Structure 1
Amino acid sequence: MRFWRIQQLKADMREHPLSDRESIPYLIAFVLASLLPSLIVFDDLNHWDLASDTGGLVITLAAIVYLFHRNGGSTGKHFLQRYFAIGFVTSIRCLAAFLVFGIANAAFQDGLGILSDVTTMFDFMTIVACHLFLYWRIGIHISQIATWTARTPNSG
């Protein structure tokens, strides 16, 4: 199972699709990582929290359609294993960048005197931007694999 090296994962998947057995750890990790934020309970929820949750759900559903098309649509192959494996590794990589961005964002807001203990419109916009960036990156990687395998005889 790959955790960071996206190029190696893509090269492996270009050579041969992941078997169901190889896909299972990515599925489990992806589902657990997806559920983790919902386990955090906050006392002071506001309308921006609801907007963030709703926006995240809408973006995720739209992203699945977008990624399906990036994989070749109805003629594409191995969408789920590509989605889970590439999505997991890309999410780990983006999480590292988002943590650095989040710290810088908090410092910036604190410097302006607008840092808040509750979710704000600025936080909502940041969350939406991070979701969009993540799915855009996943789409790039899935599209590359789909293109490579479409050009290679006897692949996938």
Structure 2
Amino acid sequence: MLTFEQKQEIIESFPQLTKKEISLKRVNYHFEGSLYEKTIVVEKLHPNGNGFVFVGDLLKYEKEAGDNGLVNIRDYDEEALREIVRDAIDYLSEEEVEDLPIIETWVSREGTELNLEFNDRSWNIYHQGNLEETFGTREDAVAYLREDGFRLSK
């Protein structure tokens, strides 16, 4: 587990974040460039190593995040901490796009077709218009499809 000081050093390597001290020797890190009302990226980082990162509704962190969109980073290593802070900043700096979704057709050897669609920050797999699975990243969705013997249609 990283120390409080190590976590601060990693978080402060992101120049977009501003440190603000709060009660009980805890600190918050704000992203003033947020496109949303929410500006706190790292919340209540405590000298005991506990703290939270706001990831909203990013599916990538669905299993870790509470209903408030916060992930506890107490046991995060350097790589994981850098990744989640980067993802949080990206999340708060992306405008929701109303463009057409990305759609790919994947086919099995038996000829079964599935559609992989990106919309609303998630990668969804559909069979005959019915939602089968949802993933937070394209890589996870593609791995799932390949494990089941599907290939991208040309």
**What TM-score do the two structures reach when normalised by structure 1?**
0.28
TM-score (norm. length: structure 2): 0.29
**Per residue, is there more helix in 1 or in 2?**
1
Larger Rg: 2
For CA contacts below 8 A with separation 6 or more, give which structure has more relative contact order: 1
